[in-house]
């Protein structure tokens, strides 16, 4: 599942399902996107640093099978 930068229910979803289930979406190029400030909005959500790292990076690496060097 993906979360957008200002979805305040994200914290409850992460608590219920775990941060391993989510990736980040900017909703670009839709007219209502928050890009290019989307990441800054996301970082204001009440999440732990570990959850943020998973949603912004770790889960995407796993989803797309990006090799880690």
Query: Of all residues in the chain, what percent carry a pLDDT higher than 90?
Result: 62
Q: Within a domain: residue 18?
A: yes
Q: Within a domain: residue 34?
A: yes
Q: Within a domain: residue 58?
A: yes
Residue-range definition of the domain harbouring residue 7: 2-63
Query: Of all residues in the chain, what percent carry a pLDDT higher than 70?
Result: 100
Question: pLDDT value at position 16?
Answer: 95
Question: pLDDT value at position 26?
Answer: 85
Structure tokens at 50: 């570990």
Q: Within a domain: residue 69?
A: no
User: Would the CA dihedral through 15, 60, 49, 47 be positive or negative?
Assistant: negative
Could you tell me which residue, 11 or 7, shows the higher pLDDT?
11
For the stretch 11-41, pLDDT in tens is 999 999 999 999 998 888 888 888 888 999 9
Residue with tokens 């409850």: 12
């Amino acid at each position: 599942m993906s979360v957008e930068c200002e979805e305040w229910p994200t914290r409850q979803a992460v608590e219920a399902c775990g941060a391993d289930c989510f990736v980040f979406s900017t909703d670009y190029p839709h007219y209502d996107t928050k890009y290019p400030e989307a990441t800054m909005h996301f970082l204001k959500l009440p999440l732990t640093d570990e959850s943020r790292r998973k949603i912004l990076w770790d889960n995407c690496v796993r989803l797309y099978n990006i090799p880690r060097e």
